[in-house]
Amino acid sequence: MSKEIIAAAQSHLHGVDLQLISQGAEALVFKTNTHPYLPTYIKPSDIQNTTNYIIKYRPFKPYRHPVLDKQLTKSRTASEAKLLSRLYTLGVPAPKLIATDAPNGIIWMECLGYDLENNGGVSSLKNWLWMLEKQFEQEQDPEKKRHNIALGDEVKSVMELVGKAVGHLHLQDIVHGDLTSSNIILVKDEENNNQPTLIDFGLSSYSSLVEDKSVDLYVLERALTSTHPMYSQQYNDWLLDGYEQVHRENKAMKKHAEIVRRLKDVRMRGRKRSMLG
């Protein structure tokens, strides 16, 4: 099945090398060395990585009516592309839009992140935390063992920045919809510090509802609990600190109080408010 989908993607992407990096229910994500329209001697502006690009492809879903499928594919691709462009003008860190082929369900975007050392994989927050957690567990030197690197200052500052990034999004009334530690990518800034960037806005939407924002935070909290069970409490506390900070800076503490209050309710009942579905 996967082979056929990749062949379908290739048929819309003439002469483009495709390397599958992830496959979800909604879309396939490829990495490529080819820019959709620029010759190699022209470098795209304000894009760091000019040797790799990401292609997100929403394939045809055979279980849907073909007419409906076309409409859904096109509108979801279009709204994700529009959102990426909007995030760029708002200055919220996110992959930059490079090209769109909405009728065929294709978005080209900037390739973010770097490879972690010792085959740790791409620099998602999940892989990075796993790497640090493993480093601490395997540490033999008792001196170093006294300080847990997985709970060190760098992790604290990264988690706060994640909270800030989510806060920025929410202050613009945008909810991510699928916050997990693998949908957060670390990018090195000029001073070689890790800066978290949110990716995969496929389930994002505009909402000013307290409920939707609380659910966003709750989903991330649950994702952290399941992928980093030992440390999730501390990670989440730091994250919420950052989330609070950005609301304070933007004089939105009233909103913040409502969201945090609602988050407690959501924790009690789970992310679905109604008992249906």
- Contact positions toward other proteins, by CB under 8 A? 13-16, 34-39, 42, 44-46, 74, 77-78, 81-82, 85, 88-89, 96-104
Q: Which is nearer to other proteins, 102 or 223 (CB)?
A: 102
Residue 164: half-sphere exposure toward Cβ, Cα within 13 Å: 18
Residue 196 CA to residue 24 CA, distance in Å, equals 22
Residue 5 Cβ, how far from other proteins at the closest point, in Å? 19
Residue 106 CA to residue 169 CA, distance in Å, equals 24
* Catalytic status, residue 216: no
Catalytic residue, chosen from 178, 200, 212, 216, is 178
Residue 34 Cβ, how far from other proteins at the closest point, in Å? 6
- Type of residue at 154: E
Q: Which is nearer to other proteins, 61 or 74 (CB)?
A: 74
Residue 70 Cβ, how far from other proteins at the closest point, in Å? 12
Residue 106 Cβ, how far from other proteins at the closest point, in Å? 10
Q: Which is nearer to other proteins, 43 or 251 (CB)?
A: 43
Residue 77 CA to residue 102 CA, distance in Å, equals 5
Q: Which is nearer to other proteins, 77 or 124 (CB)?
A: 77
Residue 263 CA to residue 271 CA, distance in Å, equals 10
Residue 84 Cβ, how far from other proteins at the closest point, in Å? 8
Q: Which is nearer to other proteins, 82 or 222 (CB)?
A: 82
Q: Which is nearer to other proteins, 108 or 218 (CB)?
A: 108
DSSP the chain: -HHHHHHHHHHHSTT---EEEEE-SS-EEEEES--SS--TTSPPTT-S--S-EEEEE----TTS-HHHHHHHHHHHHHHHHHHHHHHHHHT---PPEEEEEGGGTEEEEE----BPTTT--B-BHHHHHHHHHHHHHH---HHHHTS-GGGSHHHHHHHHHHHHHHHHHHHTTEE-S---TTSEEEEE-TTS-EEEEE---TT-EE---HHHHHHHHHHHHHHHHHHSTTTHHHHHHHHHHHHHHHHHHTT-HHHHHHHHHHHHHHHHH-S-SSS--
Catalytic residues: 178
